[in-house]
Amino acid sequence: MAGSAADRQQILDWIETDRNELVRFLSRFVQARSPSPPGDTRKAARHVATFLKANRLPHRIVAPQKTMPNVVGSFAGAKPGRHLVLNGHLDVFPADESDSRWPHRPWSGAIADGKVWGRGSVDMKCGLTALVWTYRYLHRLRKTLKGRLSLTAVSDEETFGPWGADYLLERHPELRGDCCLSAEPSTPSAIRFGEKGVLWLEFAIVTDGADGGYVHRSESASKLAMALARDLEAVTRLRPKLPAKLAAVLKRNAAAIDAAQGKGAARIAGQVTLNIGFVHSGAAINILPGDARLGVDIRLPPGIGRAEILETVHRILARHPQASMREVKYNPPSWSDPEGEMLRLIQANVGALGGGVPKAILGVGGTDTRLWRYRKVPAYVYGPPPIGLGSHSEHVRIETFLHVVRTHALSAYDYLSRG
């Protein structure tokens, strides 16, 4: 541990005193609807900014797109040192309000059964609340800190951040810092030190089409699309060249990867995966389709890149002359040192709080932390379990939420106490 034992205890005492206020803040945060699409985060940003203003915490609004504001704050400690950035996102998945399976309405922020319910409670208003309050607590202790602490509460994470984190890091490089800490879902038993990359491709298949009874007059675009989808499975047989240190961590922590992300996650963490996200074809049951579209989501672990995937895809396309392809998106895989300083601080604090020692894992989904890693800044994720993530039962246990607050506040304090 770093810093003063008295300061560390003071942080824990503040959190215990504020527990009801913390829960109310999270509940109202969930009520501040911010589904993406459409990605309008003004209510959620206002909730954060109002809190920062009321507590006289330095902050500003950066809004290159007016419906997608980013709340940014920063302050310096008493002595020179390193710069830690706390990053979280304001936008959440959409919610079907007509779905009767919700135990509480999706935007209610209901506090019931020792939990906070609603869309975004897990991803990631629980985690962002922890970061906002960490920023508040450490500002009180700024005269004992070294370096600088910044908060980036961003929009547009669900669509890769062109108006959010990516915009900030390009236009405001002072926010890159020396380390990034996020509270995206991970589960308290795991710390995400990296994540797989994303390659999105869209295919169009065009034939003449015909009446459904005149199958001799044209090939079926829908059948060709199905054949192409089957052939694209070849990318999953490619073998990435995982760095030795990464391969050892994935093997050693396989059980933790499964526990955090579902059984089978450890098996695919180091593999290329393929998902056919959508298939669009046909106008009626008695018409032979003349066009079809496939949306393909390929996830890449470290050790393989876009060029290797596309080489295989182009070989497959050569066997399907009716098909054409366009690239929609590519984000390379990214990872930080699985034994890095911040990861070790989180492990030590979780252990001291009685939560065991969380394991280092590679995420199979994406977060904004990749944007820091692309810029050579180590970035780590520690947050609540993904209970009901994106579904009708999304919720976070209050005790888990408070554990995440404690862990982030103590770990950020330790990092900035070391100088």
Per-residue pLDDT tens over the stretch 58-85: 999 999 999 999 999 999 999 999 999 9
**Average pLDDT for residues 9-28, to the nearest whole number?**
98
d(CA 314, CA 8): 57
Task: State the pLDDT at residue 159.
Answer: 79
Which residue(s) pair with 70 in the sheet?
Answer: 62
Nearest CA to 310 out of 162, 147, 197, 175 is that of 197
Per-residue pLDDT tens over the stretch 254-308: 999 999 988 999 999 999 999 999 999 999 999 999 999 999 999 999 999 999 9
Query: Residue 35 carries which DSSP code?
Result: B
Measuring CA to CA, how many Å separate 189 from each of 36, 264, 293, 351? 29, 17, 41, 10
Q: Supply the mean pLDDT for the chain.
A: 96
d(CA 179, CA 377): 6
Per-residue pLDDT tens over the stretch 161-187: 789 999 999 999 999 999 999 999 999
Which DSSP helix (H) or strand (E) runs through 181? strand 179-182
Per-residue pLDDT tens over the stretch 228-254: 999 999 999 999 999 999 999 999 999
d(CA 309, CA 265): 21
* Backbone angles phi and psi of 23, in degrees to 5: -65, -40
Other CB atoms closer than 10 Å to residue 4's CB: what's the count? 13
Per-residue pLDDT tens over the stretch 33-59: 999 999 999 999 999 999 999 999 999
pLDDT at 1 over 60: no
Any idea of the CA torsion for 199, 202, 205, 211, to the nearest 10 degrees? 130
Task: State the pLDDT at residue 3.
Answer: 75
Percent of the chain, pLDDT > 90? Answer: 93
Any idea of the CA torsion for 312, 318, 323, 325, to the nearest 10 degrees? 40
Which DSSP helix (H) or strand (E) runs through 255? helix 254-261
d(CA 122, CA 390): 9
Length of the chain: 419
Per-residue pLDDT tens over the stretch 398-416: 999 999 999 999 999 999 9
**pLDDT band with cut points at 50, 70 and 90 for residue 387:** confident
**pLDDT band with cut points at 50, 70 and 90 for residue 160:** confident
Which residue(s) pair with 111 in the sheet?
Answer: 116
Any idea of the CA torsion for 387, 389, 394, 398, to the nearest 10 degrees? 50
Per-residue pLDDT tens over the stretch 336-346: 999 999 999 99
- Predicted model pTM: 0.93
Measuring CA to CA, how many Å separate 356 from each of 251, 263, 387? 20, 21, 20
pLDDT at 371 over 70: yes
Per-residue pLDDT tens over the stretch 124-152: 999 999 999 999 999 999 999 999 999 99
d(CA 63, CA 49): 13
Task: State the pLDDT at residue 389.
Answer: 87
Delineate the domains of the chain, giving CATH numbers in brackets.
Answer: 5-195+333-418 (3.40.630.10), 197-250+269-328 (3.30.70.360)
d(CA 419, CA 411): 13
Task: State the pLDDT at residue 419.
Answer: 65
Nearest CA to 183 out of 256, 91, 260, 86 is that of 86
